[in-house]
Structure 1
Amino acid sequence: MIRIDERTRIVASPSSWIEGEAERQLRATAALDGVRWAVGMPDLHPGKGHPIGVAVLTDGVVYPHLVGGDIGCGMALFRIELASSKVHGERLAKRLRGLEGPWEGDSADWLRASGVESTSFSGSLGTIGGGNHFAELQAVHAMVDGARVESLGVRESTFVLLVHSGSRGLGESILRAHVERHGAKGLEAEGEDGRRYLHAHDDAVAWGRANRALIAHRFAASIGAELHPLFDVCHNAVLPHDGGWLHRKGAAPHDVGPVVIPGSRGALTYLVEPLGDGLLCGHSLAHGAGRKWTRSDARERIRERFRADDLRRTALGSIVVCDDKDLLFEEAPEAYKRIDRVVGDLTDDHVCRILATFRPLVTYKTRHTTR
């Protein structure tokens, strides 16, 4: 644990690398009016004005910028039924097509089942998007607590599908509307503008959850597999907590049971269970490995060492489906921190324990529809 001052800390070992700009942004966030405390996760890294990998508790005020534009972004884990004999990375990857285009089903009905009305963004429902979002088929790598993991519906022979995506353009439109009216200011949570934002925010959170479920449905249908939801957690949101408002930007909840913490596309995913009362870690956990290099730095550095085709198969032997060359370089495993170190910081501070690890088989990011 790195304690910066009485209101600011980072759940990381002093030997773990935290970028100076990320720490500066964390200090600035803690200094905002109404902030009770700000806690950085071990995957903390700089964002647009405020850091990513942070939990912030405020009194009476909500800050849309602390949630960001991808409101409702999160990760959903599904058990996917496939015979082991059919799990061949390259063959499965070839069958994964058409996930970028509009879904042919009834988006309005799908959203309505999640309590959300259709919007002008419904055409994006069921699509992954860019950046670090993905849908990844995984196999069990190691069972650390077999009894606990099996109670969740996962066995050693189980395959799982991990989906990381959010509210697509909907969340960004909500943040943009706030900026046009209020700039970077916070809102009184009980005021008219605050209630209006929170209502739109809640819709985006539900939209993001419905989006992940539809992505999984389309993924499973494309490879002829059955799908069973395990859990869905959101890591970009604000919600009531301890008489205040808990903002998370790139931070998984500590109070909903087991969560997944994936590494880069060439690394393991960790299934962890929270421990303790959550006070030490801001009632939150890391949501991933965290960027080590900016996107522009990654493009420059990785291009000097690899060709695009080199990055379509990882050191673990998994296949990466990504027809956007810039994205291949930006999301290369080398651009991220080591996930074992990130999770190690959390377990060393006894805020969670490892239940299992999953190994990637096929990571789907984007495919040109003309191919």
Structure 2
Amino acid sequence: MIKIVKSEKSWIESNAVDQLKKISTLKGIIKAVGLPDLHIGKTPVGASYMTKDIIYPHIIGNDIGCGIGLFSTGFKKTKFKIDKSVKKLEKLDMLEYTSDSIKNIDFPFKEKLGTIGSGNHFAEFEEVNKVYDEKALNEIGINKNEIYLLVHSGSRRYGEYILNKYIKEYSCQNGLELGSDAFNEYMNEHNKAVEFAKLNREIIAHKISSCVNSKENKKLLDSVHNSITPKKIQDEIHYIHRKGASPSDIGYVVVAGSRGSNSYIVKPTDNLLDYAFSVSHGAGRKWSRFGCKEKLEKVYSKKYVRQNNMKCNLIYSDKNVIYEEAPEAYKNIERVIQDMVDEKMIEVVASLKPLITYKK
């Protein structure tokens, strides 16, 4: 069964749909779902699959455990000085004190803990922009008058190492059968990578919060976008493969916007079996990173970039991120949210407005 969540106003490239259809033909796949942020990748991003008795590690890709966490800062909106915080963050070296904070941690590639990584990963200070459900916001523990930190990152080189290992040694792209040694070994390593990625987000949040002298650093929400998760359905275990998709069965989640646009806290509705228990994880790319600079260099001149008019308080080390992560390269987050609302997949709790984006 294939399901694509879209409306007449949505834009989903046909190549992404073709990718989804191709994967849906793999042995043991019961359901394939393309969410409103569906776009092309090595395997389609913004997709979720349900299997029985077999898993496909290549579907979720190399960034196992990639996800997004929302953390408190203790800053009141009226007390948070954006310009002052930007200056401090520009001087922050994420690797500077990593060794002290992870010396007692037992993980492969632990030197990568506390680093954001490239691509669409980021840390971002947010303010609550609009409240749709105050009761839900209170239930999460969010004060609409305070500042919050959103962290999007994954398992860094650890997840890549795991995927390459299982492709090379077990040809996992052909599937790993339930009960096999390869299945059990992969799931064990997969679960460790998920924990690595969660810890990575926590360490990133701690470093950035400390840099701006945040009063607190409490994790309020966390959702994983790339994973294989067992799910009991009618007394049988199925495996939900998510590639750039948020779980719908863990409570509230954040759906991230692109740079300069709002993100949303949403509450998935109950029993989204038809959608493989998943909702969109973000806006989804409209353009691939390749070619973004060529398309936007004339729009964003060097002088314009230098004057900081379009950076939206963006702190970065690779100037290509200006183009690759530009709002124009992404779909409209409001359209993605509305498509899910119309499908009765989610209820919107609040929108978050970005204040500072850190991508070093």
TM-score range, shorter chain: over 0.9
Structure 1 match to 2:226: 236
Mapped pair 1:361 → 2:355? yes
Query: How far apart, in 1, do the equivalents of 2:96 and 2:259 lie?
Result: 23
Q: Deviations over 1:45-69 (max 9, x none)?
A: 0011x20011101111110111100
Work out which of the residue numbers 142, 147, 150 in structure 2 matches 1:159. Answer: 147
Query: How far apart, in 1, do the equivalents of 2:249 and 2:208 lie?
Result: 29
Mapped pair 1:277 → 2:266? no
Q: Deviations over 1:111-144 (max 9, x none)?
A: 4xxxxx322x111100100000000000010111
Query: What is the SS of the residue equivalent to 1:94?
Result: helix
2:256–2:282 CA contact under 8 A, matched in 1: yes
In 2 relative to 1, CA 355–28 (structure 1 residues): closer, same or farther, beyond 3 Å?
same
Query: How far apart, in 2, do the equivalents of 1:314 and 1:64 lie?
Result: 42
In 2 relative to 1, CA 68–22 (structure 1 residues): closer, same or farther, beyond 3 Å?
same
Structure 2 match to 1:178: 166
Structure 2 match to 1:206: 195
Q: So what's the TM-score if we normalise by structure 2?
A: 0.94
Query: How far apart, in 2, do the equivalents of 1:365 and 1:309 lie?
Result: 21
Cα shift at 1:303: 1.2
Cα shift at 1:171: 0.1
Paired residue type of 2:292: A
Work out which of the residue numbers 252, 256, 263 in structure 2 matches 1:258. Answer: 252
Query: What is the SS of the residue equivalent to 2:300?
Result: coil
1:35–1:56 CA contact under 8 A, matched in 2: yes
Mapped pair 1:95 → 2:83? no
2:229–2:239 CA contact under 8 A, matched in 1: yes
Mapped pair 1:188 → 2:177? yes
Query: How far apart, in 1, do the equivalents of 2:2 and 2:131 lie?
Result: 35
Q: Following superposition of structure 1 onto structure 2, how do residues 19-98 of structure 1 map, counting pairs within 5 Å?
A: 19-48=13-42, 50-96=43-89, 97-98=92-93
Paired residue type of 2:44: P
1:276–1:350 CA contact under 8 A, matched in 2: no
Cα shift at 1:234: 0.6
Cα shift at 1:311: 5.5
Structure 2 match to 1:3: none
Query: What is the SS of the residue equivalent to 2:144?
Result: coil
RMSD: 1.6
Query: How far apart, in 1, do the equivalents of 2:302 and 2:80 lie?
Result: 25
Paired residue type of 1:63: Y
Query: How far apart, in 2, do the equivalents of 1:309 and 1:232 lie?
Result: 38
In 2 relative to 1, CA 33–219 (structure 1 residues): closer, same or farther, beyond 3 Å?
same
Query: How far apart, in 2, do the equivalents of 1:134 and 1:209 lie?
Result: 14
Cα shift at 1:159: 0.9
Query: How far apart, in 1, do the equivalents of 2:292 and 2:185 lie?
Result: 39
Paired residue type of 1:206: E
Work out which of the residue numbers 176, 187, 206 in structure 2 matches 1:217. Answer: 206
Cα shift at 1:100: 4.6
Q: Following superposition of structure 1 onto structure 2, how do residues 251-330 of structure 1 map, counting pairs within 5 Å?
A: 251-307=245-301, 310=304, 318-330=312-324
Work out which of the residue numbers 110, 123, 131 in structure 1 matches 2:119. Answer: 131
Query: What is the SS of the residue equivalent to 1:82?
Result: strand
5+ residue gaps in structure 1? 1-6, 112-116, 367-371
Cα shift at 1:86: 4.0
Paired residue type of 1:295: R
5+ residue gaps in structure 2? none
Query: How far apart, in 1, do the equivalents of 2:244 and 2:297 lie?
Result: 27
Work out which of the residue numbers 230, 243, 253 in structure 2 matches 1:249. Answer: 243
Query: What is the SS of the residue equivalent to 2:359?
Result: strand
Query: What is the SS of the residue equivalent to 1:28?
Result: helix
Moved more, 178-187 or 355-364: 178-187
1:12–1:345 CA contact under 8 A, matched in 2: yes
In 2 relative to 1, CA 348–311 (structure 1 residues): closer, same or farther, beyond 3 Å?
farther
Query: How far apart, in 1, do the equivalents of 2:317 and 2:158 lie?
Result: 25
In 2 relative to 1, CA 288–54 (structure 1 residues): closer, same or farther, beyond 3 Å?
same
Q: So what's the TM-score if we normalise by structure 1?
A: 0.91
Structure 2 match to 1:4: none
In 2 relative to 1, CA 43–71 (structure 1 residues): closer, same or farther, beyond 3 Å?
same
Q: Deviations over 1:47-96 (max 9, x none)?
A: 11x20011101111110111100000000001111244442322211111
In 2 relative to 1, CA 152–196 (structure 1 residues): closer, same or farther, beyond 3 Å?
same
Query: What is the SS of the residue equivalent to 1:91?
Result: helix
Query: How far apart, in 2, do the equivalents of 1:90 and 1:190 lie?
Result: 56
Cα shift at 1:323: 2.3
Paired residue type of 1:61: I
Equivalent pairs, count: 351
Moved more, 95-104 or 281-290: 95-104
Query: How far apart, in 1, do the equivalents of 2:139 and 2:292 lie?
Result: 40
Paired residue type of 2:342: D
